[in-house]
Structure 1
Amino acid sequence: MIKFDSIRVFTTVAHHGNLRAAAQELGRTQSALSMTLKQLETDLGGPLFETDRKRDLTDLGRFVKDVGDRMVRDHDACLATIRAYSRGEAGQLRIASVPSVAALILPELLSSFMKIHPDVRVDLMDSDSAAVRDEVASGHADIGIADNSMESSGIRSRPLFSDTLFVICKPTDILASRGEGLTWADLWRGALIVNETIRSVGSDETVALVEGSRMSARNNLSLLAMVASGAGITVLPGLATRSLPETIVALPLTGSGTTRTISLLTQRSRTASPVVSAFCRHAEATLPRIGRNLGLRLHV
């Protein structure tokens, strides 16, 4: 049986034209290389060199060298790919994230990650927390970044940061005149447009508000457009209120259940791939700097 090691030895000797230089490159003795070449010639049924000086190849030798060079290149390239994947330097990373994190945190986080992992391919989708949890639980996303207050037994959760919830309304709304100190009870004053942020709180107050609402929306752009049109009020986390149009205002909520915690989510039943582990380490190392610039309450 022809061994790959024998092919590597032969192509190295053929490139150098002598045993001495090939032995130095391979870290083997000349006698060991000579024995390997003799065994390869026996396996192939013919000589590879015209003379013992290993400088001139036979017709069989030239053919084996051409094919062997491709074998060695492909073998080494495949091993390099495997090593890169095992170190988290290559592979595919599928991330599902809430829109505010996707817009304000992930651009800088992913940019720095991909600079040091140039062979990683990233697929990013954004949706509300419920959809993000579903993507992770189903295995369609390797990592989720979302509110995990409605915890799933199949998801592993690592808290990243918390931010305050805000009431979003028009400046002319009666709530805007109240300014600071709004509570969940104040939201009965207006037509509430329900979203995943409100549903995820899960308190008796918010459950009642959800049940009493006539409108709901999942997309932040749609929510803001409806509020701006006067269709109602809604609630969004602070990170999602950084670039509001002048036609609406954000008023902080106070009391219990008025903060959200964003967590890094992975599937509990699966061992994380090397690239997922590398991204998690990078996120925990890099997020403090990004979070401080955004005024977030960090948990990492």
Structure 2
Amino acid sequence: MSIKIDMLRCFTMVATHGSLSDAADVLGRTPSAVSMMLKQFEDHVGSALFETARKSRLTPIGELILAEARREVAHFENTVSVIEGLSRAELGYLRLAVTPSVATTVLPAVIFKFTERHPNVQIDLRDMDSGTIARELDRERADIGIGSFVQVEGMRRTELFSDAFGVVCRKDHPLADNWDQLDWRTMGDHRIIANGLCKQITDPDFAPILARSHLMVPSTASLLGLVRQGVGITVLPRLAVAKLLDEFAFLPLRDVTTRRTVHLMSRSQNLLMPAARAFLRLVTEMKRDGSLNLDPEIQQN
């Protein structure tokens, strides 16, 4: 018979308390069951572990085995604690890949609440464009992605919200004076700084405007830095500048129906770590109760 962790736990309790009955109370077993398990352990060792039947004094080999048994029991109990913590999302890690606008506006409130509930979960948060996020999910280098995605086989995609595109410029830009009359055809010869999200705009009148752009900037931070400097204007979804409207003007466009749709995407729930499943549940909960901290102009679906 091989040594079992219950044998070690039984032995250490008897040695600690000095009696079968006290050890039985701690272990939640009968004294006879504890005595039988202790006998099995001694038979396996091939030597008595206590000097007397009262179990008050250990033999020399019993002293040596007790030190090893305590270490093994402590290691086992720590392992069980870690496993249970992982299963309850109290421990573990969470890898998030999100677009910059989501990272700076929507996610802080979610992360705040998540870390309150799961303070020991390690979070790896990276912001990147939607195409890169999809690749990271496919390569299993991210657990959850938030961005604009097409449906991908084997992935679970949930629509989170949508926001309208508009012209983003400095507040002192001439376009800001008559923005309520603004459409693609009235934008004139203003210099357009293109970005990756421009590809989502399908309005036919936007194509020639995008074609004459000679500046393409994927990074939202760099893009807004150029707009701030007066290099040109750009087109972004509302969320990208929702927290910056004291500095930039966001000009809605007349008769433009194209919207940017943002999704949550991950593998099937049963393939995710408990921490990732807990994060998805939290986002769903916050979306339902309206605490995602979205701009009123942004539509939740």
Whether TM-score is above 0.5 comes out as: yes
SS in 2 for 1:228: helix
In structure 1, the residue matched to 2:292 is 291
Q: Is the 8 A contact 1:41 1:48 kept in 2?
A: yes
Q: Which deviates more, 257-266 or 206-215?
A: 206-215
Amino acid corresponding to residue 235 of structure 2 in structure 1: V
**Which residue does the alignment assign to 2:142?**
141
Identity over the aligned pairs, expressed in percent?
A: 36
Which deviations, in whole Å up to 9, do the C-alpha atoms of 1:153-178 show, x marking residues without a partner? 45421111222222012345443233
Higher mean Cα deviation, 269-278 or 92-101? 269-278
| Residue 253 of structure 1: how far off its partner (Å) | 2.6
- C-alpha change, 1:64 and 1:208, in structure 2 (3 Å) is farther
1:162-211, Cα deviation, whole Å (9 max, x unpaired): 22222012345443233125334445642221112211335545555444
Structure 1 position 292, deviation (Å): 5.3
Q: For the structure 1 residues 207 and 53, does the alpha-carbon distance in structure 2 shift closer, same or farther, using more than 3 Å as the test?
A: farther
RMSD: 2.4
Whether 2:229 is the aligned partner of 1:229: answer yes
Deviations 1:47-97 (A, max 9, x none): 110101011111111111111111111111111111111122211101111
Q: CA deviation at 1:270?
A: 7.7
AA in 1 matched with 2:34: L
Alignment check: 8 A CA contact 2:106 2:293 kept: no
- Give the aligned partner of residue 166 of structure 1: 166
Which residue of the partner structure matches residue 62 of structure 1? 63
**Number of aligned residue pairs:** 298
Which position in structure 1 is the counterpart of 2:133? 132
Equivalent residue letter for 1:69: R
Aligned to 2:40: 39
Residues 146 and 54 (structure 1), Cα distance of their counterparts in 2 relative to 1, 3 Å cut: same
What does residue 267 of structure 2 align with?
A: 267
Q: For residue 4 of structure 2, what is the aligned residue in structure 1?
A: 3
Alpha-carbon separation, structure 2, partners of 1:35 and 1:262: 63
| Structure 2 unpaired stretches of 5+ | none
CA contact (8 A) 2:156 2:267 kept: yes
Contact 1:199 1:210 in 2 (8 A): no
CA–CA distance in structure 1, aligned partners of residues 163 and 61 of structure 2: 72
* Cα displacement string for residues 216-262 of structure 1 (whole angstroms, at most 9, x for unaligned residues): 10111211122233322211221221343866422013434432222
Asked if structure 1 preserves the Cα contact closer than 8 Å seen for 2:109 and 2:292, the reply is: no
Per-residue CA deviations over 1:11-66 (Å, capped at 9, x if unaligned) read 11111111112112222211111111111111111111010101111111111111
Distance 1:157 1:181 in 2: 37
Where in structure 1 are there 5+ consecutive unaligned residues? Answer: none
Secondary structure at the counterpart of residue 92 of structure 2: strand
TM-score normalised by length of structure 2: 0.89
SS at match of 2:163: strand
Q: Distance in 1 between matches of 2:264 and 2:44?
A: 56
Match in the other structure for 2:214? 214
Whole-Å separation in 2 of the counterparts to 1:195 and 1:270: 36
Work out whether residues 18 and 57 of structure 2, in 8 Å CA contact, stay in contact via their aligned partners in 1: yes
In structure 2, the residue matched to 1:276 is 276
Matched letter for residue 298 of structure 1: Q
Mapped to 2, the partners of 1:209 and 1:134 lie a distance apart of 30
